[in-house]
Amino acid sequence: MHFDLVDLRLFVAVAEARSITGGAATANLALASASARIQGLEAAVGVALLKRGRRGVTLTAAGESLLGHARVVLHDVEALRSDLAAYATGTKASIVLLANTVGLSEHLPKALAAFLREHPQVSLEAEERESADIAQAIAAGSADLGFAAEHTLPETLDRFIFSEDRLVLVTAQRNDLASRRSIDFRDVVDRDFIGLTNATALQNHIGKYAARLGARLRYRAQMRDFDAMCQMAAAHVGIAIVPEVAARRCARSMPITLVRIRDTWANRKLAICFRDLKVMSRPAQQLVEHLRAAARP
């Protein structure tokens, strides 16, 4: 069953005027055209909507029902038009940001909160992705900007370094690894690990490098966040690989030790990336400049 907005507006006008002639005038339609549209609407729904008389029209029970629904639909359409007009004029805007696991959990929240507080007309849609996927999405234009490992970004994307992200091994203070200052990843791939859930970008990143060594990490537990991972490591459940910024925060309240991972993939520069600042919306440009000012390269 198809409803035309012009027909719905006309029907509401006719119902309120109690006259097809009066409704046609309100809807700026010729009487013959308005009459044909009402008849077509009745044919589409398969029931009479109006009782026609010498003094005008009255609504049938079906007509009363349609009138209520039509008013709701037309109100929502006007609200939609007004909302989109606000986006078009810059008085309201939505920004799509893609970020890797550590970006969303550790590096970006404070800066993003400050920006949204200063720009109440802007809404933000943040989605977690792997760094390589973020680069592809930004290049394809499916997001405004991204937060990703700098080495995964193609030369075609503009970027600036926001922060460094060193991944470290976390272990209980009485674990045999706790006395080591640094370690190669290959020396621990056969240990029991504490990880994040399978869907996280960081977990996939670590898993790829284990696979290159011909190993598949054995997880005793997979937790929702870095704090829970460190708590498990402190309880001797297994070892964990987490961003240094999160590990140092947890070490202030947990009996854990941080061990540096010597592999180059464990030391990453994290960058804000985008296609072309000049063609981005003004709010997106403002967010880029805000993050540039908050960067800690």
Q: What is the CATH number of the domain that holds 84?
A: 1.10.10.10
Structure tokens given for 64 = 């009363």
Interatomic CA distance for residues 264 and 216, integer angstroms: 19
The Cα 60–Cα 52 span in angstroms is 10
Residues 195 and 229 in one domain: yes
23 & 79 share domain: yes
CATH no. for residue 120? 3.40.190.10
Residue 49 pLDDT exceeds 70: yes
Please classify residue 215 by burial: count the beta carbons closer than 10 Å to its beta carbon, then call 0-12 exposed, 13-18 middle and 19+ buried. middle
Residues 10, 81 share a domain: yes
Residue range 82-102: average pLDDT?
Answer: 81
Within this chain, do residues 143 and 215 fall inside the same structural domain, yes or no? no
pLDDT at 123 over 70: yes
- 136 and 279 belong to one structural domain: yes
Q: Do 142 and 64 share a structural domain?
A: no
Gyration radius (Cα) of the chain, Å: 30
Phi and psi angles of residue 7, each rounded to the nearest 5 degrees, phi first? -65, -40
172 with 130, same domain: the answer is no
Domain boundary among 66, 89, 112: 89
Q: For 203-259, how does the pLDDT look when each residue is reduced to its tens digit (9 = 90+)?
A: 888 999 999 999 999 999 999 899 999 999 999 999 999 999 999 999 999 999 999
Choose one of 40, 71, 89: the last residue of a domain.
89
- The pLDDT confidence band at residue 199, using thresholds 50, 70 and 90, is low
Say if residue 175 is in the same domain as residue 262: yes
Question: Residues 89, 81: contact at Cβ < 8 Å?
Answer: no
Domains contained in the chain, number: 3
- Tell me the two tokens of residue 294: 């908050």
pLDDT above 90: percentage of residues in the chain: 71
Mean pLDDT across the chain: 92
pLDDT band at 163 (very low <50, low <70, confident <90, very high): very high
The reported pLDDT for the residue numbered 194 is: 97
Q: How far apart are CA 47 and CA 43, in angstroms?
A: 7
Residues 275 and 152 placed together within one structural domain of the fold: yes
Residue after which a domain boundary falls, among 89, 107, 122: 89
Range of the domain at 213: 166-266
Please compute the mean of the pLDDT values over residues 263-278 and round it to a whole number: 92
Looking at the structure, do residues 175 and 260 belong to the same domain, yes or no? yes
Question: In the chain, which ranges are continuous DSSP H helix?
Answer: 5-17, 20-26, 31-45, 61-89, 101-102, 109-118, 131-140, 201-212, 226-234, 244-251, 282-294
- pLDDT of 90 higher than 80: no
- Enumerate residues 6+ apart whose C-beta is below 8 A from 181: 259, 260
- 273 and 159 both lie in a single domain: yes
Separation of CA 97 from chain center: 6
Q: Do residues 189 and 219 make contact, with C-beta atoms less than 8 angstroms apart?
A: no
Helix axes 109-118, 282-294, angle to 10 degrees: 130
What pLDDT was estimated at residue 228? 96
Residues 137 and 254 placed together within one structural domain of the fold: no
Residue 235's CATH number: 3.40.190.290
